[in-house]
Amino acid sequence: MTRVEEVREAVQEGKLTEPFSKKNLERVFKNWGKGTYDAYLFKHRVGNPGGYLEYFERVAPGKFKLVK
């Protein structure tokens, strides 16, 4: 299962509520590496400068929701 699939499943199961932050990811996904918590949401946000796949929309500073 990919990380974004893990996030989608956690939202569907109510383990993670939107909008969420990196701290919320740390609480739910204890097996991810520290660097992942620090970068994943920003790296895959809508309009990211690296051209990475866009999974999340930033709705407030440090807060994100899944792109539907």
What's the rounded mean pLDDT across residues 16-22?
98
* Overall number of domains in the chain: 1
31-55 confidence digits (pLDDT tens): 999 899 989 999 999 999 999 999 9
Q: Residue 34's pLDDT is what? A: 87
CA-based max dimension of the chain: 31
Token pair in block for residue 26: 């740390």
Radius of gyration of the chain measured on its C-alpha atoms: 11
Instruction: For residue 22, give its domain range.
Output: 3-66
Helix (H, G, I), strand (E, B) or coil at 65: strand
